[in-house]
Amino acid sequence: MGEDGQLATAGEHPLISAAPEAAGAHTAADHALSADTRRLIADGVPANTRRAYARQWAAFTAWCTTQSRLALPATGATLAEYTAQLCAAGQAPASIEQALAAVRTMHRLSGHPNQPATEAARLALRAYKRHRAENGGRGQREAPPITIDALRAMVAACDLTTPIGLRDRLLLVLGLALMGRRSELVALNREDVREVSDGLEVVIRTSKTDKDSTGETIAIPRGSHPLTDPVAAWRDWLHVLDQAGDATPRLLRRVNRHGSIGPSLGADAVNVIVRDLAVRAGVPSADTITAHSLRAGGATVAYAAGVPVAIIAKHGRWAPTSPVVLRYIRAVDRWRDNAMRNVGL
């Protein structure tokens, strides 16, 4: 409005008058990205996803070169033929799905959205899955969930008189109680865990489904068993760190055979530790146990105890409609709500 109460004209509006009179054509500068900006964009994708997609894209482009085909932009026929080659090589369906996703993602980032067409490739993959099933193959193999009894057996296999044993105990207990991903566990700092009257509050600063890294605080109640009480496990490991006089922020650390505290524990090491303890504890199918078994186990035992699905999904930082949580639930329901239970067989 002008001083006289009338609407200001476009020429009088300060924002409009400050705007350029006409937009010019884009130049190379409008499309340029600095090295720092490129790094930030790349870091916006989880590191594991970047590595996997880079590996898949390199394999695809190498195959295209040998076949005298154009990798970017590729045609739907090229993608279908590549998919058929992966099927012929006996690759797991999940790996082939990842290859398709990597190719499409690279096309989108390179300015070729919705390319290449995937219908033919997915039909080929569907046929491959059916043939595998008919010949005794199975779909994606999932890590079996760790039950509470298995968890206690694995903690009992830890030597709790040593720093390694106390660290491994905390890793196991937090992994199941948090329904934690490997990346979340190894990223924990000491200050991210705080004891309160009811148990522990654990801050997960970022996660797979928290793409904007807003963070979330997860409450873990005190335990009823001395071996697997989260508060006791956290206190005992914190005492080890304090005794070592180590001020490094990371919570879970490497420990050498002499008990000396080292740098942060790596994500791959978590898998090794969990499987080794499962073997030592005599857990069924121990050779198939992974760190994800802790996450799956947390969801499974919670649902078996009557916790609603929505609460499990929120606690485990799954998307509300995640099919993964539903798979864990179905595994419990097929026994709890079995049609043949109590029929007198």
Distances (CA, A) of 72 to 14, 62, 102, 296: 46, 12, 12, 39
- Please report the pLDDT score of residue 321 as a whole number: 77
**What pLDDT sits at residue 8?**
44
Q: How many CB atoms lie within 10 A of CB 235?
A: 14
Q: How far apart are CA 326 and CA 260, in angstroms?
A: 42
SS3 (DSSP) at 104: helix
Residues 254, 233: Cα–Cα separation, whole Å: 17
pLDDT at residue 141, as a whole number: 63
Instruction: Give the Cα separation of 54 and 50 in Å (integer).
Output: 6
Per-residue pLDDT, 140: 58
Phi, psi for 218 (deg, rounded to 5): -105, 130
DSSP 205-267: --BTTBTT---EEEEEEPPSSTTT-HHHHHHHHHHHHHHHT---SBSSEEE-TT--EEEEPPH
Q: Using alpha carbons only, how large is the chain's radius of gyration in Å?
A: 26
Report how far residue 100's alpha carbon sits from residue 94's, in angstroms, rounded to the nearest whole number. 10
Spatial separation of the C-alpha atoms in residues 313 and 236, rounded to whole Å: 29
Residue 36 has what pLDDT?
A: 82
Give the pLDDT of residue 15.
42
Q: What is the pLDDT of residue 23?
A: 57
Helix (H, G, I), strand (E, B) or coil at 185: helix
Among candidate residues 263, 281, 241, 265, the one with its CA nearest the CA of residue 158: 281
pLDDT reported for residue 149: 95
Round to whole Å and give the CA distance between 283 and 306: 25
For residue 103, the one-letter residue type is V
Q: What is the predicted pLDDT for the residue at 162?
A: 95
> What confidence score (pLDDT) does residue 5 get?
44
Q: Are strands 199-204 and 193-196 parallel, antiparallel or unpaired?
A: antiparallel
pLDDT recorded at residue 299: 93
Residue numbers in the chain where pLDDT is lower than 50: 1-20
Gap between the terminal Cα atoms of the chain: 85
Of 339, 180, 335, the C-alpha closest to 252 is: 180
Cis bond leading into 145, ω under 30°? no
